[in-house]
Amino acid sequence: MRSWRCKDRLLDVFERPHIMGILNVTPDSFSDGGLHYDREAAVARAIQMVDEGADIIDVGGESTRPGAEPVGEEEEMDRVVPVISAITDRIDVPVSVDTTKAAVAEAALGAGAVIVNDVSAMRHDPAMAKIVEASGAGIVLMHMLGEPRSMQSNPKYLDVVGDVRSALMDWAAGAERAGISSECIAIDPGIGFGKTLQHNQLLIKSVGLFAEYGYPLMVGPSRKSFIGMTLNLPVEERIEGTAAVVAWCVAQGANIIRVHDVAHMSRVVRMVHAIRGAGEVGS
């Protein structure tokens, strides 16, 4: 049975889709910046998300919203490491660190994290591959055009689906050449990261193609601006649009869904998974 290897954990993401709950310990993330900046509030939210159905908690200390300014290494470490340590002390749940910095990843893994979710696909920090390889952590390689401050400045592709697929396969191959086991690698097409409304819609429409490579496929559409643009809704009213995208992605074979609204999306995921796994009529 295939699984996603994350240090000493084997996550059965190919047997059932997993929910990754977003925990931003930042003052400025686009959807929930500042809500869980306090350590105790962050830990309480992590526990709540697990109760609501989260399989993984993803802790981030630097906003990657369009136009976001970078955070220093020490400050990011100070934000995420104590929270990860407190979560892993309190509950037995796989924790991911959302970072592009090798030193932050190393400290987070030492504090109990088992996954590195790197929106730069390990291109931002050349030392990241060594940290991931040495630890045996799971690694999410996400596609982003440019970097957060400039990624939404007129992004262009010859063929967005083909270009993103090709880039992710090149980066996954590079990770394997660096010694990272293929069992540890997951991929993410990077919805909203250097893509227009049409780019995002095309990637979601074709998301099943990304599952064909055999790596766990993660998708993170939660509350993003393409949903707001499609439905003409502010961020706090995008739950139904998010649910529609989540349902589509799970039906097309996505293995990990990264979301804010865990309780609602967990139900969506479980329902779609049940339908996909239903036997033939009359059987």
Enzyme catalytic residues: 224, 258
Q: How many CB atoms lie within 10 A of CB 136?
A: 17
Per-residue b or e along 204-222, where b marks 16 or more CB atoms closer than 10 Å to that residue's CB: bebbebbbeeebbbbbbbb
Pair type for strands 56-60 and 18-24: parallel
| Packing angle of the helix pair 128-135, 102-110 (nearest 10 deg) | 20
Amino acid at 39: R
- What does the alpha-carbon distance between residue 219 and residue 245 come to, in Å, rounded to a whole number? 10
Q: Are the C-beta atoms of 53 and 262 separated by less than 8 Å?
A: yes
Question: What are the angstrom distances between the C-alpha of 272 and each of 171, 252, 256?
Answer: 30, 10, 13
Residue 268: what are its φ and ψ, rounded to 5°? -60, -50
- What does the alpha-carbon distance between residue 193 and residue 200 come to, in Å, rounded to a whole number? 9
